[in-house]
């Protein structure tokens, strides 16, 4: 038998009440993480990356070394392009990224999905996606 005084029992009820209040409060904490006039630019599109090819004409002696069924005068190696994404707000870059095709071999479509913060006023927003220079 526990010897608990009346005051402790009242305290127990108080702790129970406090736990209930804590539960209610903790389940609905108003979380203010941006000012009311925040502005974001949402980027969302998909595109198939271009294939960049580097071709050259084979010399006669190079052709002769190949099996007959593989003798093509022009031989091309290719990769899928990468793009440089830049988001400018009034000529200030606020976000930049390198875009590559999806998948482990980057041979799937490029998909862009994301927000970037900007300023809540009239401004000029420039979103540019330019093909990255590919070094052979």
Partner 1 sequence: MRSSTERALRRVDAVFTRLFGWRYHPLHQTGTVAVALLVVLIVTGLYLLVFFRVGTPWASVARIVGDPYLGRWMRSLHRFASDAMVVAVLLHALRMFAQDRRWGPRALAWISGVGLLLFVFVSGWTGFVIVWDEFGARLAMAGARLFDALPILSEPVGRVFSGERPIPGAFFFVNLFLHVAVPLGIAAGLWVHVSRLARPVLLPPRILTWVIVGGLWALAVVAPAPLAPQADAFNLPATVPVDVFYAFWLQLVERLPSWGAWTGALATLAIATAIPRLTRRPREGRYAPSVVDERYCTGCNQCPQDCPWDAISMVPRTDGRASLVARVDPSSCVSCGLCAGSCAPMGVGPAHRTGRDQLHEIRALVQTGLQPGGAPITALLCEHAPDSHGAALARAGARVQHVSCTGNVHTSAVELLLRNGSAGVIIFSCPPRDCRGREGPKWLEQRLYHDREAELQPRVDKRRVHLATAASGDLAGTVGAYHAFAHSVAGLGSVEVHGDLADVECVPTPVDARRRRR
3-state DSSP assignment of residue 104: coil
Residues engaged in binding partner 1 (CB under 8 A) = 1-4, 8-9, 11-12, 15-16, 20, 23-24, 26-36, 38, 40, 42, 44, 46, 102-104, 108, 111, 113-114
Q: Which residue has the tokens 């990224």?
A: 97
Residue closer to partner 1, measured from CB, 38 or 128 = 38
Closest CB 1 distance from partner 1, rounded Å: 6
Could you give the CA distance from residue 129 to residue 85 in angstroms, rounded to a whole number?
4
Displacement of CA 108 from its chain's centroid (Å):
15
Residue closer to partner 1, measured from CB, 34 or 124 = 34
Residue closer to partner 1, measured from CB, 78 or 109 = 109
In angstroms and rounded to an integer, the radius of gyration of the C-alpha atoms of the chain is 31
């Amino acid at each position: 038998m526990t010897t608990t005084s009346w005051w402790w029992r009242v305290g127990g009820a108080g702790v129970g009440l406090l736990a209930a209040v804590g539960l209610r409060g903790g389940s609905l904490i108003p979380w203010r993480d941006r000012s009311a006039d925040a502005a974001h630019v949402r980027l969302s599109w998909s595109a198939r990356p271009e294939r960049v090819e580097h071709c050259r004409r084979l010399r006669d002696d190079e052709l002769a070394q190949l099996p007959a069924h593989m003798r093509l005068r022009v031989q091309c190696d290719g990769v899928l392009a990468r793009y440089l994404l830049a988001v400018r707000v009034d000529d200030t870059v606020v976000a930049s990224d390198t875009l590559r095709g999806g998948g482990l071999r980057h041979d799937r479509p490029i998909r862009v999905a994301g927000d970037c913060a900007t300023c809540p006023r009239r401004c000029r927003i420039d979103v540019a996606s330019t093909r990255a220079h590919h070094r052979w």
